[in-house]
A = this chain, B = another copy of it.
């Protein structure tokens, strides 16, 4: 059973159907001049309760992140982010490439979050206008984080406050925005622009799409150069309907929230099940759709022997694995995972300690 990544899941039937239908529908305008692309923008305006929002579909989360950041940060700028953030460790320097050379500055915090107080202290350094120093330009937060935590609107607002006080822009990497939204239980607006987010990478790929993200600007001025940036990066699709129709199907009928809720619930079920096993150590919260955990070696080995797969996180010596659930993870598969883990846990006990 594959619990390795939500990137390895298939796609939701409703999204597959929508894409198939769109491509059987005959010719439409290319490069985003089609009706679907206009429609998805209108739809996002309703969902985010923001009539002037601008949305730019792209195919990958990295493209969304770095195009958004490039609209916020000049080549001589600095982007503040958690050292575990996707842009810092998983995008092969794409942020530097797209911004023309910005610097990433680490701001620590619990569970992959940017600590608002540390951020405020860093932004208070008197570097503004001093030509030698990278100029503070943007703050990046992952909602939810790479460590499994979701920001509350209040946490975001605290970060946004420090960010805007110094004229920086706030970018939210929402590769798992729907999962965070499900956990926090507020409106999309409350979790984004009302809390101070300027631009959002709204991910769909990990939550049921074939491959689609939208760069959602709440601040239209930031979007001024976006269309040129996307085109010159080779990220403007000629058959744009492919991206737009996915996004449309993704938010239609609350599919995104239903998918996310399910994935979150499955991860919660994994955690609750593992929590019953002594010597299992969790390595972070499980607020979204995965569990970071250190399993005793016999359990780990047993699960692998039974065909389960996970991904390792952090330094090998830490023994941490990530167990990821997706929109299509089945309850019975989770239950079997837990049962198998428990079996290996029991086997590994000293004989006298075993039940019965």
Contacts and interface: CB of A to CB of B under 8 A. Distances in A.
A92 interface: yes
A23 B9 CA distance: 8
A300 to B, nearest CB: 17
From A64, A96, A100, name the one whose CB has the most chain B CB atoms within 10 angstroms: A96
Contact of A93 (B25, B59, B60, B75): B75
Contacts of A234: 58, 60, 62-67, 91, 94, 98, 233, 235
A97 B126 contact: no
Interface string A251-272: 0000000000000000000000
A31 B93 contact: no
Interface in A1-34: 2, 4-5, 7-11, 13, 16, 19-20, 22-31
B23 A231 contact: no
B228 A89 contact: no
Interface in A160-195: none
Interface in A57-90: 58-67, 74-78, 88-90
A322 interface: no
A7 to B, nearest CB: 4
A218 interface: no
A22 B8 CA distance: 12
A162 to B, nearest CB: 16
Nearest to A209: B239
Contacts of A230: 131
B11 A27 contact: no
A23 B239 CA distance: 19
B31 A7 contact: yes
Given A8-B27, A29-B8, A93-B76, A132 B225 contact: no
A232 B92 contact: yes
B97 A93 contact: no
B10 A25 contact: yes
A132 B5 CA distance: 15
A152 interface: no
A136 to B, nearest CB: 12
A76 B125 contact: no
A2 B315 CA distance: 50
B101 A104 contact: no
A279 interface: no
A301 B30 CA distance: 23
A210 B16 contact: no
7 contacts: A8-B30, A10-B23, A10-B25, A16-B23, A78-B93, A89-B134, A211-B242
